[in-house]
């Protein structure tokens, strides 16, 4: 069973082997579409960034189990949920709103980085790191941190998303892990935590372009103010910060500049994406990291969710 006890040295599970994520594979992309395999289920969806021609044949693109087109699941809408393995985590996939299935495979590498960052922070602090996970969706980042020994505050304004993340925690053997499950608006929660004088050692946030909740989240308008409030929660030397986004115009360098400006930390940015088994590169957002481990020092590369350049 997982045990991470505040004030004592954390006892974590063994390090995740994030180099092995055979359940997450981009098979091909092109002509505005992406063909992916999540475990045994092949999914075809739009991919605005897939401006290149497809490399697999029409026959290989035919008959995916799930297909999203023109704003709806046109194939597999009633499919039963299924599970995929991602490192040590087990995550449930389902045909969900907006053509999502509950897992962003391009984040697999960031989970590996979080795993290493939490372990490093635990060693430095001599206790379980306190991690704040915002816009936390179905829990991949929160669970990667919890599995590495962090105490996590998981915040998302969608009740179904938080329920899904809790289910993923159970599936991953982290049902008893010290995770606070919070259905809340990220900005409002952070302001309250600031007033309460709460401190966190690490922060991970994956804000959408537009969201919901108090004052309706807009990344352009609200991200700088959110980062200002977060700087009060982590103080001058956070153990790590990971900021990612999938919004056009927010590339790695811009995200890193935002961390430098509002959190006064050194940060490096990079683009996120996947290289398909067929050899096409699909850009899928960007991230900026601060602290943790030097990039490449301990981040696993998965076969399926690999980062080609």
Among 114, 161, 239, 258, binds ligand SAM (CB under 6 A): 161
Does residue 217 belong to the site contacting ligand SAM (CB under 6 A)? Answer: yes
Q: Tokens standing for 78?
A: 């009633």
Does residue 208 belong to the site contacting ligand SAM (CB under 6 A)? Answer: yes
The span of 52-60, 70-78, 152-160, 169-177 binding ligand SAM (CB under 6 A) equals 152-160
Does residue 185 belong to the site contacting ligand SAM (CB under 6 A)? Answer: yes
Q: How far is the CB of 197 from ligand SAM (least distance, A)?
A: 22
* Residues 230 to 269 in contact with ligand SAM, rule: CB under 6 A: 245-246
Q: How far is the CB of 286 from ligand SAM (least distance, A)?
A: 10
Q: How many residues bind ligand SAM (CB under 6 A)?
A: 18
The span of 18-26, 196-204, 209-217, 267-275 binding ligand SAM (CB under 6 A) equals 209-217
Does residue 206 belong to the site contacting ligand SAM (CB under 6 A)? Answer: yes
The span of 84-92, 144-152, 206-214, 274-282 binding ligand SAM (CB under 6 A) equals 206-214
Spatial CA neighbour of 243 closest among 226, 255, 225, 231: 255
Identify which of residues 54 and 92 has a Cβ nearer to ligand SAM in the complex. Answer: 92
How many C-beta atoms lie closer than 10 Å to residue 280's C-beta?
22
Q: Closest residue (Cβ) to ligand SAM? A: 211
Contact 82, 92 (CB under 8 A): yes
Identify which of residues 102 and 149 has a Cβ nearer to ligand SAM in the complex. Answer: 102
Contact 140, 91 (CB under 8 A): yes
Contact 98, 138 (CB under 8 A): no
Contact 89, 17 (CB under 8 A): no
Phi, psi of 152 (to 5 degrees): -120, 135
How many C-beta atoms lie closer than 10 Å to residue 253's C-beta?
15
Identify which of residues 45 and 246 has a Cβ nearer to ligand SAM in the complex. Answer: 246
Does residue 213 belong to the site contacting ligand SAM (CB under 6 A)? Answer: yes
Quick note: the x/- pattern for ligand SAM over 55-74, rule CB under 6 A, is --------------------
* Residues 97 to 136 in contact with ligand SAM, rule: CB under 6 A: 135
Q: How far is the CB of 162 from ligand SAM (least distance, A)?
A: 9
Q: For residues 189 and 76, what is the distance between their CA atoms, to the nearest angstrom?
A: 37
Does residue 36 belong to the site contacting ligand SAM (CB under 6 A)? Answer: no
Does residue 280 belong to the site contacting ligand SAM (CB under 6 A)? Answer: no
Q: Which residues bind ligand SAM (CB under 6 A)?
A: 135, 137, 155-158, 161, 185-186, 206, 208-209, 211-213, 217, 245-246
């Amino acid at each position: 069973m997982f045990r991470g006890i505040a004030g004592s040295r954390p006892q974590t599970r063994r390090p995740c082997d994030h180099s092995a994520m055979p359940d997450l594979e981009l098979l091909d992309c092109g002509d505005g579409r992406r063909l992916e395999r999540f475990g045994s289920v092949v999914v075809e969806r739009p991919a605005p960034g897939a401006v290149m021609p497809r490399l697999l044949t029409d026959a290989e693109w035919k008959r995916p189990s799930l297909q999203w087109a023109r704003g709806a699941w046109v194939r597999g809408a009633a499919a039963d949920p299924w599970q995929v393995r991602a490192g040590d985590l087990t995550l449930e996939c389902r045909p969900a709103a907006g053509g999502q299935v509950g897992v962003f495979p391009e984040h697999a590498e960031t989970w590996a980085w979080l795993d290493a960052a939490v372990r490093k922070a635990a060693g430095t602090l001599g206790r379980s790191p306190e991690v704040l996970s915002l816009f936390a969706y179905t829990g991949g980042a929160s669970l990667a941190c919890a599995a590495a020994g962090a105490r996590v505050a998981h915040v998302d304004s969608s009740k179904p998303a938080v329920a899904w993340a809790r289910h993923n925690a159970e599936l991953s053997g982290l049902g008893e892990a010290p995770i606070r499950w919070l259905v809340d608006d990220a900005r409002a929660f952070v302001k309250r935590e600031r007033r309460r004088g709460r401190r966190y050692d690490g922060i991970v946030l994956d804000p959408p372009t537009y969201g919901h909740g108090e004052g309706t989240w807009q990344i352009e308008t609200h991200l700088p103010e959110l980062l200002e409030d977060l700087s009060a929660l982590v103080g001058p030397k956070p153990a790590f910060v990971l900021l990612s986004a999938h919004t056009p115009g927010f590339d790695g360098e811009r995200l890193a500049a935002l961390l430098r400006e509002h959190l006064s930390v050194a940060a490096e940015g990079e683009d996120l994406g996947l290289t398909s088994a067929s050899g096409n590169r699909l850009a899928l957002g960007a991230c900026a990291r601060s602290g943790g481990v030097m990039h490449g020092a301990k981040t696993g590369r998965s076969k399926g969710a690999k980062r080609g350049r």
